[in-house]
Structure 1
Amino acid sequence: MSRVRRRGLALALAVLLATSGCLGAVSGGSTTFEAEPADVDEAAASQTGFEKNGTRDSVVTREVGPEGVSETVRVVNKVTTYEKALEIPLLGTARLGVFSIVSSPAVEVAGQTFNPIADYSNDQLVQLVTDRFGSLSGVERVSSTQITVLGTETRVTKYAATTTAQGQEIEVFVHVGKVRHENDFLVGVGVYPRQLDQESAILSLFRTVEHPASGA
């Protein structure tokens, strides 16, 4: 999976969460909503072999309202990515294991939440990534499991899909789950080749998500 495609899988969610048209209900002259970053417990990440590749801002600024009286709404999502080098035939060793955690502000005004992720199912989240960026194809649900993330029972759904790495198609599994924690929604996305079982590692990363991130 190319670096562009790896980033696309993570950033797709961050961008979509802020561009679904639901922010039009916000009122005021200029408003910024910024998420707290999330990451994974350092010891847990080390045990799984995934290495942190940093945290990036995904910023979307929109003008909402009629011309002449519009307001500026700025949404700052945080995207933290972990990668793992895996070896498969024909490709050799490459960073084919990816786990990203996207933190997106709830965008609450007068007690109402305007972030569309509040109503998105895991099926919708994985489909939105596919529709917008084309990073995945042939997505099919495989199974789902309930785990505890940040003290909340969270459904993580497993999908089979196909992606491209170094010009070759690779069959992958994708795990997607979301949870509300404090003022943010967190969406986790884990991807790895089907022939290299990383499910236990990905679920371990989900279970040890920290928010706000340590040192934030």
Structure 2
Amino acid sequence: MTTRRSVLLGAVAGLTATAGCLEFALGTAPLETEATTVTVADGALAETEYEVSRSDRTERSYTVTVAGQPREIEATCHVSEYRKRLSVGPLEDEYLGTFGVISAPRTELFGRTSHPLEGLDDRRLVADLQSEYDRFETFERVGTDAVRVLGDRREVAVHRAEAVHSGESIDVSLHVLSLDHGEDRIDGVGVHPTSLSGERQRILSLFERIQHG
């Protein structure tokens, strides 16, 4: 696999580029990159009673401009999703608590860094990183929380929304985190019924125990 470092080197010094970099520069083949796995520590899952829903790789292609010409990058991202059974109103023992995290490889070309999640707003990230809620009827940012993630203090955006689950509408709180770590972009999303205020701290605990690499 061609690494992101060799891409930068190959773009600057074309004659010394690897075969993969040369094909990418000529536009005859996409560049392939892959992120490092991202998960949540087992101890945090046990403490918060969240369980693994899925942990796999997903391919995302996007286009960058090199010397005025479009070039394609095929990025392998790593996604981990967790969920928890909760009860609210007519919804009993349903997966109403959900937490997802994705790592995407960042690629640097001529001093500009890009990644396949670039341009996605919080609402789109929520849709991408959780599979329990059918849709969100409304979406409003209401504040932020501060957590320590991967060694640094980070800001988590807090939203409120009316969500649909199993045909029922409920008010939910949504927490969204985006950061760069190592050579990857990391985005995380947590969703829980707003009426279950205790779940907020559990979601923040999951953010704090993200593991990358």
- Structure 1 residues not aligned, in runs of 5+: 1-25
Aligned CA distance change for structure 1 residues 196 and 107 (closer, same or farther; 3 Å): same
8 Å CA contact 1:152–1:179 kept in 2: the answer is no
Shift of 1:114: 1.5
Q: Which has the higher contact order (CA 8 A, sep 6+)?
A: 1
8 Å CA contact 2:125–2:189 kept in 1: the answer is no
Match status 1:78 vs 2:78: yes
Counterpart of 2:30 in structure 1: which amino acid? S
Counterpart of 1:135 in structure 2: which amino acid? R
Match status 1:126 vs 2:122: yes
Count how many residue pairs are aligned between Structure 1 and Structure 2.
Answer: 180
Residue aligning to 2:211: 210
Q: Give the aligned CA root-mean-square deviation in angstroms.
A: 2.7
Shift of 1:52: 1.4
Residue aligning to 2:105: 105
TM-score by length of 1: 0.74
TM-score by length of 2: 0.75
**CA distance, structure 2, for counterparts of residue 102 and residue 88 of structure 1:** 28
Shift of 1:167: 0.8
**CA distance, structure 1, for counterparts of residue 201 and residue 72 of structure 2:** 43
Residue aligning to 1:176: 176
**CA distance, structure 2, for counterparts of residue 185 and residue 70 of structure 1:** 22
Shift of 1:154: 0.9
Deviations 1:90-137 (A, max 9, x none): 12111110000011111223443012756x6xxx62133479998323
8 Å CA contact 1:149–1:179 kept in 2: the answer is no
**CA distance, structure 2, for counterparts of residue 188 and residue 96 of structure 1:** 17
* Runs (4+) off by over 6 Å: 130-134
Higher-Rg structure is 2
Deviations 1:71-101 (A, max 9, x none): 5521111110010010122121111100000
Aligned CA distance change for structure 1 residues 168 and 176 (closer, same or farther; 3 Å): same
Q: How does 1:144-155 map to 2 (within 5 A)?
A: 144-155=144-155
Aligned CA distance change for structure 1 residues 131 and 110 (closer, same or farther; 3 Å): same
**CA distance, structure 1, for counterparts of residue 63 and residue 124 of structure 2:** 23
**CA distance, structure 1, for counterparts of residue 151 and residue 25 of structure 2:** 33
Deviations 1:22-66 (A, max 9, x none): xxxx7353311111111111111110011112312221235778x
